[in-house]
Amino acid sequence: MTISDIVSILEARILCGEDKLSTEVYSACCSDLMSDVLAFVNEKTVLLTGLTNMHVLRTAEILDLKCLIFARGKIPNDDIIARADQMNLVVLTANKTMFTCAGLLYDGGLRGAAMAWKEEDKL
């Protein structure tokens, strides 16, 4: 799936990175806990979140994410958008809940990021 497909599926608004919409993505992750994203996401992916702070950008940078999608129509401040643009991230906002965004993207063929479980974490 391309980021352009995501824009279409979610009827999202592009906040930066419009020149990178042809980028292919293979998985997605939804979380407002960046520690969970750092612990479980181990591949290039799309992050759906409701957080609009600098921690999201730091997480995206560490994991080499391709695209950030802010759910519930949230829009980060201009400093965050400018920094995301410098990082070559595509930033979108979607006027839907995170659950709805995830469902629509899954229905469109995008799958969840693989999680690496430790044996002791299994029930």
Average pLDDT per consecutive 10 residues, the chain (123 residues; last block may be shorter): 96 97 91 75 81 90 91 96 95 97 95 67 55
Listing from the earlier edge strand, what are the strands of the sheet with 46-49? 13-16, 90-93, 67-70, 46-49, 27-30, 111-112
Q: What does the pLDDT read at residue 24?
A: 93
Q: What does the pLDDT read at residue 17?
A: 96
Instruction: Report phi then psi at 10, rounded to 5.
Output: -90, -5
Q: What does the pLDDT read at residue 34?
A: 80
Q: What does the pLDDT read at residue 116?
A: 60
